[in-house]
Amino acid sequence: MLRTAVAAGQAAAATANAGAGGVNLRQALRRSQRREQWRAAALVLPLFIFVAVCFVAPIGAMLARGVIDTDIAHILPGVTTALKAWDGRELPPDAAYAALVSDIHAAREAGTLASAATRLNYDVPGFRTLLFGTGRRLPPGISGSARDILIGIDPKWGERETWVAIRRAGGPVTDFYLLGALDLRRDADNAIVGAPSEQRVFRDVLGRTLWISGVVTLICLLLGYPVALVIARQPPPRAALLLFLVLLPFWTSLLVRTVAWVVLLQKEGVLNSLFLSLSIVHEPLKMIFNRFAVYVAMVHVLLPFMVLPLYSVMRGIPPAYLRAASSLGAPPWTAFRRVYLPQTIPGVGAGCLMVFIQALGYYITPALVGGADDQMISYFIAFYASRTVNWGMAAALSIMLLGATLALYAVYNRLIGVERMRLG
Amino acid sequence: MTRTGTETVGQRLASAGLGALTALVLLFLVAPILIIVPLSFSSGSFFYYPLPGFSLRWYRDFFTSSFWLPSVWNSLIVGSVATLSATVLGTLAALGIWRARFPGQALVLALLISPMVVPVIIIAVGVYFAFAPLGLTDGYSGLILAHTTLAVPFVVVTVLATLSGFDRTLIRAAESLGASPVTTFRRVMLPLILPGVLSGAVFAFAASFDEVVVALLMAGPGQRTLPRQMFAGINDNISLTITAAATMLIAISLVLMIAVGLLRRRSERLRQLDA
């Protein structure tokens, strides 16, 4: 920077003094600026590489699993190729049957049949049994028509849907998981239809995630607005103390706060024993592992994110505005509604977006204090990644969550600016 | 609304109502933390008041437990290595971004801050997906790399905020007096931005020390961190030892919070000095 400034100074002086030498000096200035840019970029480079390798690449590779589908093409290459040319109206040609037989033999030898069975089973329940059963009963050498042999082993090989499922899984790109995350699927004629009602789960999960996040945001706004209002009107020392009370939970470990709520709300916990001893209730209230506990714990965690932006906006509103409104005859409520409230809207927007965005991705709190019907989308991402190891489904749900989060952040950035995000 | 002595009854009622609501909300924010601390000193083993007596048995239990104690060390190891690397990488990057505008800077900054924005479950699942086949999930390395990524934005944001108040003429002055760029950085710049760098480091440590989702997916039996064990401790049969663990974590948060407060004050004083 220094060099730039010196060069600029020299350039300016030179242009003033010697007119004609200005062109050369301008080039020198540009060169020195470029050098400065390179230095700056070189300082950023180590972290840039680190984030690219340890953050962007892993997440990108994982998300790609939601749209890229190459397992079947690798494990059953012959039949995948043979089905490419098939129009899908009638049963596939004999060549496809023969290719499947040799593919199954090869996959059994390579030990990869299980992966193919798992992938096809996602699409058509029962496919695993079909593929394994066929693999076991297939004679080593084929004499006669492969079609007759396969249909003889299992009549499902005589159904168009079975073959369509294999073709659908042939990749390399698929919308199977993304559609699945919306409870949609493709039927035998490749049209998008709703999944059978007993298999529909994700619309519920997505709706519930939005609903819980919305309710939590609303509660945070209703509780946070008056609190920020009161704190903003205190003299500085007392405001600092009250802000400390808001910040204390903000700094306390998420796990600690969740533990605290479990201790307070559980059946033999602090609140129930208090209520029982005061005879407010006669049997313990069920306050945990339900939606109530999720709301309470999430509001507790996210409330500071609402209070802080509201407070900093309210702090900047000169009290003279309200006095002016009153002196012009506005009753207090009107003065508040017409003069004060509109000026706090940026804080309301910032707080609500911040709380809503964070609530969308919540995992730990609902997992610990919620019941089975209170789990949000993150829970299912973790479930598919670690329990059933269905990366395609985990990735598709991640794409939805990430898409929603980034879109809302873009709004936040547009309205407020990410650089004004507060820490602590 | 302001104390002018001409308030109507309605105004005074509204004001009192607001005050009461605020008190209740602040109580709601602080109460769980205040309730859990005394419980950890209970001599009984139940989760209710009044306490049967005072004892340190749950702390003894914590410090003799093969479930809890190793997790403290794991948290400290992962936290300190992640903090160190995030602070060095993040400070360098912030200096670069502050030093000159280069093409694509806004995009680069957005990328560096994105670990703070992307839902942590996606980071955890992505890192697990990529690191497990490489064998990085067997030791500390995977966890440390992931925690460094999560901690980096806190350092970048904090140091950038400190730098925005830095007076560039100081550098010009130093260099015009003959100081080399390295000396200028070490003797002039670093002392002035150090409070900001250190608060960035505190944020980074707090981010790693509190992280549970990545630890849940990645940590093997030998690398379980304190939050990871608390997660397990709530799910299995919950004992008062967990309140002792929570109390100590609260104490650590308080220390970190005070550290940031002091650093911030120091940073402001330095800024006034150079103004």
The ipTM is 0.89
| Of the candidates A377, A379, A313, A371, the residue with the CA atom closest to the CA atom of residue A340 | A313
| Alpha carbon distance B167, B181 (integer Å) | 16
Chain B residues lying within 8 Å of A398, measured CB to CB: 121-122, 125-126
Cβ–Cβ below 8 Å for A55 and B122: no
Residue A384 has which token pair? 């598919």
The answer, for B30 touching chain A at a CB cutoff of 8 Å, is yes
* Cα radius of gyration (chain A): 32
Residues A115-139: what's their mean pLDDT?
82
Under an 8 A CB cutoff, do A257 and B172 touch?
no
pLDDT at A54 over 90: yes
Is the pLDDT assigned to residue B274 strictly greater than 60? no
Q: Nearest residue on chain B to A320, judged by CA atoms?
A: B2
Neighbour-count burial of A216, counting CB atoms closer than 10 A to its CB (0-12 exposed, 13-18 middle, 19+ buried): buried
Contact map slice: B 176-235 vs A, CB within 8 A: 203, 206, 209-210, 212-213, 216-217, 227, 230-231, 233-235
Residues of chain B contacting A54 with CB distance shorter than 8 Å: 127, 145-146, 148-149
Those of residues 81-120 in B touching chain A at CB distance below 8 A are 89-90, 92-93, 95-97, 99-103, 108, 110-115, 117-120
Q: Which residues contact A81 (CB under 8 A, 6 or more apart)?
A: A99
pTM above 0.95, yes or no: no
Q: State the Cα–Cα distance between residues A114 and B221, nearest whole angstrom.
A: 29
- Continuous segment of H or E residues that includes residue A186: strand A184-186
Quick one: what percent of chain A has pLDDT higher than 90? 34
Instruction: Answer whether the bond into residue A155 is a cis peptide, omega within 30°.
Output: no
Say if B12 is an interface residue toward chain A (CB within 8 Å). Answer: no
Contacts of B80 (CB under 8 A, 6+ apart): B205
Does residue B3 surpass a pLDDT of 80? Answer: no
Q: Which residues contact A181 (CB under 8 A, 6 or more apart)?
A: A202, A206, A393, A396, A397, A399, A400
Residues of chain A contacting residue B18, judged by C-beta atoms under 8 Å apart: 226, 229-230
> Which has the closest alpha carbon to B191: B257, B259, B84, B274?
B274
Which pLDDT score, from 0 to 100, does residue A4 have? Answer: 45
Contacts of B2 in chain A (CB under 8 A): 319, 322-323
Indicate the DSSP class of residue A68. B
Give B86's pLDDT tier (boundaries 50, 70, 90): very high
| Partner-chain contact A364 B213, CB within 8 Å | yes
Contacting residues of B for A304, CB less than 8 Å apart:
29
Q: What is the pLDDT of residues A59-91, one digit of tens each?
A: 999 999 999 988 888 888 878 887 887 877 777
Answer for the pair B217, B275: CB distance below 8 angstroms, yes or no. Answer: no
Distance CA A249, CA A265 (A): 18
Of residues A258 and A47, more confidence is placed in A47
Picking from B117, B128, B260, the nearest residue to A385 by CB comes out as B128
How far is the alpha carbon of B211 from chain A, nearest alpha carbon, in Å? 9
Strands (E) in chain B, as ranges, are none
Whole-angstrom Cα distance, residue B22 to residue B47? 28
Using CA atoms, how far residue B30 sits from A314, B34, B150, in Å, is: 23, 6, 27
How wide is the angle at C-alpha A85 spanned by C-alphas A82 and A86, nearest 5°? 90
**Is the pLDDT at A168 greater than 90, yes or no?**
no
Mean of the pLDDT values across residues B188-213?
92
Residues of A in contact with B22 (CB under 8 A): 226-227, 230-231, 242
The pLDDT of residue A20 is above 60:
no
The alpha carbon of residue B267 and the mean position of all alpha carbons in its chain are separated, in whole angstroms, by 19
Q: Tokens representing A174?
A: 């698929």
Q: Tell if the CB–CB gap between B47 and A394 is shorter than 8 Å.
A: no
Confidence label for A333 from pLDDT (cuts 50, 70 and 90)? confident
The whole-angstrom separation of Cα B265 and Cα B94 is 21
Look at residue A173 and give its three-state secondary structure: strand
Nearest CA of chain B to the CA of A46: how many Å?
Answer: 7
Q: Is the confidence at residue B6, as pLDDT, over 70?
A: no
Radius of gyration of chain B (CA): 24
Chain B's closest residue to A263, CA to CA, is B47
Contacts of B227 in chain A (CB under 8 A): 253-255
What's the maximum distance between 2 C-alpha atoms anywhere in chain B? 73
Q: Which residue of B has its CA nearest to A394?
A: B125
Q: Please list, residue by residue across B230-247, b when 16 or more beta carbons sit within 10 angstroms of its beta carbon and e when fewer do.
A: bbebbeeebebbbbbbbb
**Inter-chain residue contact A256 with B246, CB threshold 8 Å:** yes
Q: What is the DSSP string of A264-287?
A: HHSTTSHHHHHHHHTTS-SS----
As given in the structure block, the two tokens for residue B53 are: 């007596």
Type of residue at A234: Q
In terms of Cα–Cα distance, which of B199, B220, B193 is closest to B151?
B199
Check CB contact of B244 with chain A, cutoff 8 Å. no
Q: Out of B33, B158, B249, whose CB is closest to A249?
A: B33
Q: In A, which residues are within 8 Å of B172 by CB distance?
A: 2, 5-6
Domain ranges (residues) in chain A: 2-64, 71-199, 202-420
- Which of B39, B10, B7 lies closest to B238 in space, CA to CA? B39
Q: Is residue B250 scored above 60 in pLDDT?
A: yes
- CB-CB: which of A368, A381, A391 is closest to B234? A368
Cβ-based contacts of A270 with chain B (< 8 Å): 35, 39, 47-49
Assigned CATH for A202-420: 1.10.3720.10
Distance, CA of A320 to CA of A179 (rounded, Å):
56
Which secondary structure element, helix H or strand E, spans residue B157, and what is its range? helix B141-163
pLDDT above 90: residue B124: yes
pLDDT band at A21 (very low <50, low <70, confident <90, very high): low
Residue from B8, B9, B11, B36 to probe the interface with A (highest A Cβ count within 10 Å): B36
Note whether A249 and B33 are within 8 A (CB): yes
Q: Which fold has domain B59-166+195-274?
A: MetI-like fold (1.10.3720)
B100-115: per-residue pLDDT in tens? Answer: 888 888 899 989 999 9
pLDDT at A418: 57
Contact A332 B129 (CB under 8 A): no
Question: Is B220's pLDDT higher than 50?
Answer: yes
- Contact state of A332 with B14 under an 8 Å Cβ cutoff: yes
Contact yes or no for B10 and A332 at CB 8 A? yes
Is B6 in the A-facing interface, judged by CB distances under 8 Å? no
Give DSSP secondary structure letters for A76-110: SHHHHHHHHT--SSSPPPHHHHHHHHHHHHHHHHH
Q: Residue A1: pLDDT above 50? A: no
> Would the CB atoms of A46 and B250 count as touching at under 8 Å?
no
To the nearest whole number, what is the mean pLDDT of chain A? 85
- pLDDT band at residue A190, thresholds of 50, 70 and 90? confident
Q: Which residues of A touch B103 (CB under 8 A)?
A: 37
pLDDT score of B236 more than 80? no
Q: Judge residue B59's burial from the number of C-beta atoms within 10 Å of its C-beta, 0-12 exposed, 13-18 middle, 19 or more buried.
A: middle
The verdict on a CB contact (< 8 Å) between B213 and A63 is no
Shortest distance between the Cα of A18 and any Cα of chain B, in A, equals 25
Q: How confident is the model at residue A420 (pLDDT cuts 50, 70, 90)?
A: low
Specify the pairing of strand A184-186 against strand A192-194: antiparallel
Side-chain half-sphere exposure of B7, counting CA atoms within 13 A: 14
Q: Residue A356 has which token pair?
A: 């809503």
Q: State the Cα–Cα distance between residues B270 and A198, nearest whole angstrom.
A: 65
CA distance B266 to chain A (A): 16
Q: What are the b/e assignments for B215-225, b being 16+ CB within 10 Å?
A: bbbbbeeebbb
- Whole-angstrom CA distances from A278 to A266, B28, B129 are 17, 20, 52
What is the total residue count of chain B? 275
Give every CB contact of residue A206 below 8 A, 6+ residues apart in sequence: A181, A182, A377, A400
pLDDT in the model for residue A11: 46
Q: Could you tell me how many CB contacts below 8 A there are between chain A and chain B?
A: 293
Q: Do A361 and B242 touch (CB under 8 A)?
A: no
Q: Mind telling me how many Å the CA of B237 is from chain A's nearest CA?
A: 12
Mean pLDDT calculated for residue range A195-210: 89
